[in-house]
A = this chain, B = another copy of it.
Amino acid sequence: MALIVQKYGGTSVADIEKIRNVAKRVLDYYKKGHKVVVVLSAMAGQTDNLIRLAQEMTPQPDPRELDVLLATGEQVSVALFALAVKSMGYNACSLLGFQVAIHTDHLYGKAHIHEVDTERILKELEKNKIVAIAGFQGMDEKGNITTLGRGGSDTTAVALAAALNAEVCEIFTDVNGVYTTDPNVCPKARKLEVISYDEMLEMASMGAKVLQIRAVEFAKKFGVPIQVRSTFTSERGTMVVAETKDMEKVVVSGVAYNKNEARITIKKVPDKPGIAAKLLEPMFKAEIVVDMIVQNTSEDGITDLTFTVPKADFYESMKRVSDVAKEIGAEKVLGDENIAKVSIIGVGMRNHAGIAQKMFQALANENINIMMISTSEIKISCVIEEKYTELAVRVLHDAFGLENDPQEDR
């Protein structure tokens, strides 16, 4: 007798037959007496088709109108889903962003949800309807259509679960949970039973695509338990929840990697107050996301500064940095696109010593040179040569025994 929010991704609603299967799946819950709110993405490929159409019209489509165009993708999905449920003899009702309403700011293409009204949803649920809500879309204060950015349907689902005080937010996708690392890289990768919001955030920021970062942040903020699971099996997935004492017993939960960054080093920078700010300012102005930043202790008032940027922004960044470097009298600027970042993640790190050392040793054993190191409370990241990425992931997965279920160890 619970209220459940379920989100089905694009591959889960890729065609009429798949939408019918999702309807059957949802009805299984409904028949058990649960109230079900379903959030749907656009049919697989549809959003890309619409973007292509817009770009055929103009290489830089106006963001407001692009959102109007893209929002049709999810609108088609929810209408077809409601038709499927009704054709099976049950009652359903689709609701679009403006009908719910899902209130957002006016940042087209990457809007943030401010508030979710629940009145209309609750009214439809009381009439014993399955409520299908278009993911990814909202409405700003002027009634303009906004979209939440790639993977935004996850955020829609979590925001709805928070607003409706749902028992759980189930994210149905084409993988059956969150793994200790990418199974394509490391065959020993193991599906996690449970993971904390913070660990999930670190995994997601490293490119694990099962959940959108914003959705996890939202879930953390409002304490919404998420289950990530497969549309195509009935297997239990991975619970993403608030951290518990128990979780700290597991030192490392997962290994993540990211090949989408490039490294820029400014050599022999005069180490004066404000120099780092001055060097990075042109990046911020160009809205280039600077990730890792490392500066060593200076020697004789001279230091080196290294940071990473998305590969797509590498050339632009090199140009901008070189200009400032000249200006401030730095020796030279070095760039390297052939890097990767590997990270170990785990809330247990906080209370365990020697984790970093174990990581560095494992990489050293394979003669993998570490170019940069950066640590946070629950993550240690190393920048290495790109060609060693897969090897490094497997070595670290082994080193921390991630193939073994920690539950069984106790």
Interface residues of A (CB under 8 A from B): 16, 19-20, 50, 53-54, 56-58, 60-62, 64-66, 68-69, 71-72, 75-76, 78-80, 82-84, 86-87, 92-94, 96, 98-99, 120, 143-145
Contacts and interface: CB of A to CB of B under 8 A. Distances in A.
Contacts of A83: 54, 57-58, 61-62, 65-66, 69
A144 to B, nearest CB: 8
A20 B58 CA distance: 10
Contacts of A50: 76
Contact of A94 (B56, B65, B79, B99): B65
Given A62-B87, A68-B75, 6 more contacts: A16-B53, A16-B57, A57-B87, A58-B83, A62-B82, A65-B80
A64 B71 CA distance: 18
Smallest CB-CB A-B distances: 6 pairs:
A58-B87, A69-B79, A72-B72, A68-B79, A65-B82, A62-B86
A308 B15 CA distance: 43
Contacts of A143: 98-99, 120
Contacts of A87: 57-58, 60-62
A57 B79 CA distance: 11
A82 B144 CA distance: 14
Nearest to A145: B96
A83 B108 CA distance: 14
Contacts of A54: 79-80, 83
B84 A76 contact: no
Contact of A76 (B62, B69, B79, B93): B69
9 contacts: A57-B84, A60-B87, A64-B82, A65-B79, A68-B75, A69-B79, A69-B83, A96-B145, A99-B144
A346 to B, nearest CB: 45
Contacts of A71: 75
A155 to B, nearest CB: 22
A372 to B, nearest CB: 42
A311 to B, nearest CB: 28
B84 A78 contact: no
B76 A72 contact: yes
A68 B50 CA distance: 18
Contacts of A58: 83-84, 86-87
A98 B98 CA distance: 9
A72 B73 CA distance: 8
Most chain B Cβ neighbours within 10 Å, of A68, A84, A94: A68
Contacts of A96: 68, 145
A67 to B, nearest CB: 8
A99 B98 CA distance: 10
A53 B68 contact: no
A75 B78 contact: no
Nearest to A123: B142
